[in-house]
Amino acid sequence: MLERLPRKVSIYEVGPRDGLQNEERVVPTEDKLRLIAGLADAGLRRIEITSFVSPRWIPALADSRELASRVQRREGVTYSALVPNARGLEGAKAAGMEEIAVFLSASETHNKKNVNKTIDETFAAFEEVIPPAIEAGMRVRGYVSTVWGCPYEGEVDVERSLAITRRLLDMGCYQVSLGDTIGVGTPGQTERILDRFAEEIPLDKLALHFHDTRGTALANALVGLAKGITTLDASVGGLGGCPYAPGASGNLATEDLVYMLEGLGIEHGVDLDKLVDVAELAQRLVGRELPGRYFRARLGERRRVAERAARSLES
């Protein structure tokens, strides 16, 4: 299986958006800007910075307009943000966004809880987002949530996810990210889902978005790579979760993904040590321990090195 891996992978960093949307502590705009700058410094080239959604639904990202206007754009870095409707598009345009992402779920119940609309109503709202965004020169990404399972409905028929993905691509999304919103996916299931998708859709149009709730995100990502997927979503330190999906926890940690890619000899463009510094910053900002495995191991190593150095100074 491992001989068919891609030479290069694009990491789509969702920490500032998926990560912070679910945190109890609201991170000040200034600190979000430091986090985003740190991610770009560490080599990430695609960063989802916020959401232009209702502040009543996602209070942690209520500063989206100010934040997005103030992000220092770097050459070669694409900044994106979630947009659910025309009102969100207006905000994204005013803040100078060049890329946006629309989102919906493959299961009706999660979609209703998340955006207060049926799937059909959500597509109707997208008519007022995707074509005008493209006309304004923006790139539009799409997300399909609950592909691996729904917190309310359980198993989700892959045909539903496939039909929604096709519709998003037909409407003009340049890429669709398939989400395991509650981290229930297993590698065999991932293989089956991607095999079905590959019958209908070029896999270079897809990205994978795993939450690591049950520790299977990295294994699922590896299956994705072996199937020919070249964009993976990840979140610094393993921040993340959907407030409208009970039990959803952090995304695949970006450091864990980078460490695996490094070991496989796949190009990724990220400086792992700098990324650990950014995860440390994120951990301070949210005021709780982040779950990223590589991150935790590396912090332990750094601590031991510092202790040894202190002891040798004493002796």
Catalytic residues: 242
> Quick one: which segment of 24-32, 45-53, 261-269, 304-312 binds ligand HMG (CB under 6 A)?
45-53
Quickly count: other Cβ atoms within 10 Å of residue 196's Cβ: 14
Q: Does 13 bind Mg ion (CB under 5 A)?
A: no
**Which residue of 12, 79, 126, 143 would you call a contact of ligand HMG, by CB under 6 A?**
143
Using rule CB under 6 A, residue 234 touches ligand HMG: no
Least distance to ligand HMG from the beta carbon of 263, Å?
26
Here the tokens at position 275 are: 């990324």
Q: How far is the CB of 283 from Mg ion (least distance, A)?
A: 19
What residues pair up with 140 in beta bridges, in sequence order? 100
DSSP-derived letter for residue 16 is: I
259, 240 contact by CB (below 8 A): no
Residues facing 11 on adjacent strands? 232
**Cα separation, 255 vs 121, whole angstroms:** 37
Q: Does 88 bind ligand HMG (CB under 6 A)?
A: yes
Q: Give the Cβ contact number of residue 179 at 10 Å.
A: 29
- Cβ distance to Mg ion smaller for residue 18 or 255: 18
Nearest residue (CB) to ligand HMG, 115 versus 156: 115
Please, which residue, 249 or 283, has the CB nearer to ligand HMG?
Answer: 249
Rounded (5°) CA angle 72-242-24: 75
> Binding ligand HMG by CB under 6 A: which of 12, 79, 103, 259?
103
User: Contact at 8 Å (CB) between 195 and 237?
Assistant: no
Per rule CB under 6 A, is residue 238 in the interface with ligand HMG? Answer: no
d(CA 297, CA 237): 12
CB of 14 to Mg ion, least distance (A): 7
| DSSP state, residue 252 | P
- Count of residues of this chain found to bind ligand HMG when the rule CB under 6 A is applied: 26
Helix ranges, the chain (H): 20-21, 29-41, 64-70, 86-94, 108-115, 119-127, 130-135, 158-171, 187-198, 217-227, 254-264, 272-286, 293-314
Q: By CB under 6 A, tell whether 50 contacts ligand HMG.
A: no
48 contacts Mg ion (rule: CB under 5 A): no
Nearer of residues 16 and 88 to ligand HMG, judged by Cβ: 88
Question: Quick one: DSSP state of residue 15?
Answer: I
- Residues 15 and 254: beta-carbon distance below 8 Å: yes
Q: Does 85 bind ligand HMG (CB under 6 A)?
A: yes
Q: Does 212 bind Mg ion (CB under 5 A)?
A: no
Binding flag, residue 57, ligand HMG (CB under 6 A): yes
Among 9, 13, 16, 18, binds Mg ion (CB under 5 A): 18
- Number of residues this chain uses to bind Mg ion (CB under 5 A): 1
Task: Provide the 8-state DSSP code for 250.
Answer: P
What's the CA gap between 67 and 72, in Å, rounded?
10
Of residues 10, 29, 54, 186, which one binds ligand HMG by CB under 6 A?
A: 54
**Vertex 107, ends 103 and 108: CA angle to 5°?**
90
When asked if residue 181 is in the footprint of ligand HMG (CB under 6 A), the reply is yes
Place of tokens 């025309």: 86
Return the residue of 50, 51, 107, 283 that touches ligand HMG, per CB under 6 A. Answer: 51
| Residues of the shown chain interacting with ligand HMG in the complex, contacts defined by CB under 6 A | 18, 21, 51-54, 57-58, 82, 84-85, 87-88, 91, 103, 114-116, 143, 145, 179, 181, 209, 211, 242, 244
| Residues of the shown chain interacting with Mg ion in the complex, contacts defined by CB under 5 A | 18
